[in-house]
Structure 1
């Protein structure tokens, strides 16, 4: 691929270090912080805290790999550009489509999750839930139409609110912490810690999303890796603090683990705590959806310039120079996915495994690219190999959803073959 293709013209460098950190945090901290600490504690008891420490260490090489690659190859193509530079256009195009076809499913799931937390407090029915979910997605799409500088500023404010609310939840629960809640430390045996670690992986996915915004970084060589390190530290500290206080207050157990954060907050704040968690959930879903919608619209733009996606995917807004073609594609998909969920054609739990699989496949592609492209950096090579072994080792445990990326690759291969014949 030529240099001109790898550096797609038209996007504006507007993202400084604070915005980059906010985008990373917003992409990584998902609804898992509301659910997983309690579920992990129920699975492994107080020893689940060791699983959080383990995962915080293991995902760091993955984050560093993505940061180093973004610094060297800033592009709206993100991981697909890294793979393209390492293994050629066909491999890069496949990884690009992996990511692009994750977000049309993943973003509606996030919006419905956020709406559901409000629904519990407001006694909403399905119609109100899905109207609220649609409004969340419309808000995120409009922010990205007006420019990443607008979306990034909003993201910075939202992430600051998320951090403030989580810190409030941690501090409010301190009076109810007890050393007695740490015994027995491993009630279900030490293997339960490994099982809990596998569950926690989903809380740390998101580093790949911001790579698609790296072309808009101000000084990517300096800020990409700094952004990764700052955000990785903040995310790990937040997760560890919430998980520790969940155990210290024993805010988990049969029937309450999925609402552990709400239970923990309500110990001190009562019903107001329920509202705090609901607002937190809403902010988290908006922040995560914002990061992924911005990234996916840019990969759509990049694929269009590579002539591996419909030409209209590459349309830029005349004034704001934002990828409105990609945003239109995502919006159409959102309508379809929300409709399918609303009419009960498929459930959230059945649907969520599909984007998980394509995100996983995207990571594997990025790690493979890192192995080749970061060969001249000792730290980069070590980070890439560590994250590659980690992701490949976990991939078979995805079950039947592991076939979804394979189906996408086969369809794209057949489409490319037919395109070459007719060209």
Structure 2
């Protein structure tokens, strides 16, 4: 099926890489090593292996059912509107909660260079949010092209950092391998979900590809390879080069570059951190702006505030500003967000088991379903937020509705601004 979308395969790959790689590569090596030591590498490897069937599951669904609703659409096709509303809400409301946390990592790098502490972190967040909102206001053709350039430059810089630091690697830094016990590996895996969230975000953009059936799987496969190699390389180099100090580092990538190159590299890594964060937040806001329109179209959100991608973008941007003011720690905020995303994964992979044909795609979906269910348990009490959000969505979707309601066009029919309705854009109506 050829779409009227403007997103090329290369731009789609860049959006995937930006959404998943994002802030994880600048922060997760330190956070994972803090709770698991060198054994955190096992958690990294496990999440990389899990991301392949998970990403492929969403790619297979996106190729067959390209729609701005993303995972929400797949769950609606499989389980009905109430379950779809639960998924949509979990993702849509997790994005503004996660944006300040994502920007906080970049803000830490900037504060490491210029000082200023919390004020610098807040200023960095406002700058990132302003840039991303502006790019998405003018549509995916602009933000997708910018993302392509960002991803190419940042991947090159990460490779340079790893290659330069490797001569300083020491096998002795692998001992003691599990200083916090093997339970630490599970704790690290729960944290690392943050670094691998993103496949569900770009599924909302499947309808924007020029040829979804061909381009979505190929873009996803390329992104899985790039993300896996870069993540494992940076994590391994951080542990082998920095040793026990990696768990205490507020800017592990800066320390890695300093060890490999020397000189005033912290300013460079601060720029890299900001660009990575722009890439991640860009992909999430792009996906959320389309998802909001799809949820309104399907009666899962009030139509007025999110009727078009621009209105939906404004809602998510305003929510991000409010979330910045919440008195919760960064670690707690991360777990709240990953709990919501993990529930999205659980329901999305369960939908895939019903929607995908027999074969390798369905087997991969089964593996991803079992693994994400385990990750939801590992997330612990913060996962309760996802259940509360899901319950609220089900209650809203179950309310009595008028027999007539305003027709909300598909979010994939335009990249910005008001959307001109097109016939038969609802994927449910197009099913045989």
Assess same fold via TM > 0.5. Answer: yes
1:419 is matched with 400
* Superposed counterparts of 1:9-408, under 5 Å: 12-41=4-33, 43-182=35-174, 193=185, 195-253=187-245, 256-316=248-308, 323-338=309-324, 340-341=325-326, 345-374=327-356, 376-408=357-389
Does the 8 Å CA contact 2:332/2:382 hold for their aligned counterparts?
Answer: no
Distance between the aligned counterparts of 1:355 and 1:50, measured in 2? 23
Compute the displacement of 1:174 (Å): 2.6
Structure 1 CA distance for aligned equivalents of residues 320 and 31 of structure 2: 29
Return 168-177 or 40-49, whichever deviates more.
40-49
For the residue of structure 2 that corresponds to 1:234, the secondary structure is: helix
Partner of 1:357: helix, strand, or coil?
helix
Alignment check: 8 A CA contact 1:26 1:287 kept = yes
CA distance in 2, matches of 1:126, 1:202: 22
Give per-residue Cα distances to partners, 1:172-213, cap 9 Å, x unaligned.
Answer: 213312344455666666665555444433321211000001
CA drift at 1:246: 1.9
Q: TM-score by structure 2 length?
A: 0.86
Show the counterpart of 2:416.
none
Measured in 2, the distance between the counterparts of 1:291 and 1:421 equals: 35
Higher mean Cα deviation, 170-179 or 183-192?
A: 183-192
Q: 2 CA distance for matches of 1:69 and 1:354?
A: 26
Offset of 1:265 from its aligned partner? Answer: 1.3
**Cα distance, 1:279–1:61 mapped onto 2, change above 3 Å:** same
Deviates more, 1:279-288 or 1:181-190: 181-190
Larger mean Cα displacement after TM superposition, 296-305 or 389-398: 389-398
SS in 2 for 1:308: coil
CA distance in structure 2 between the aligned counterparts of 1:64 and 1:255, rounded to whole angstroms: 32
Separation in structure 2 between the aligned mates of residue 59 and residue 390 of structure 1, nearest angstrom: 10
The separation in 1 between residues aligned to 2:181 and 2:282, in whole angstroms, is 40
Q: Are the counterparts in 1 of residues 353 and 366 from structure 2 also a CA contact under 8 Å?
A: yes
Question: CA–CA distance in 1 between the matches of 2:122 and 2:178?
Answer: 41
Tell me the TM-score normalised to structure 1 length.
Answer: 0.87
CA-CA distance at 1:95 after TM superposition = 1.0
Alignment partners' CA distance in 2, 1:245 and 1:82: 39
Distance 1:72 1:20 in 2: 16
Matched-pair contact (CA < 8 Å) for 2:41–2:236:
yes
| 2:407 aligned partner | none
Identify if the C-alpha distance between structure 1 residues 182 and 116 changes in structure 2 by more than 3 Å, giving closer, same or farther: closer
Counterpart CA distance in 1 for 2:247 and 2:33 is 13
Deviation of 1:241 after TM superposition, in Å, equals 1.1
> Matched residue of 1:272: which SS?
coil
**Structure 1 residue 84 displacement after superposition:** 0.6
- SS of aligned partner of 2:22: coil
- Bigger shift: 115-124 or 233-242? 115-124
Distance 1:254 1:228, change over 3 A: closer
Q: How many residues align?
A: 403
Gap change, CA 1:366 and 1:183, over 3 Å in 2: same
Q: Is the 8 A contact 1:21 1:228 kept in 2?
A: yes
State the superposition RMSD in angstroms: 2.5
SS in 2 for 1:101: helix
Query: Which ranges of structure 2 fall in alignment gaps of 5 or more residues?
Result: 405-432
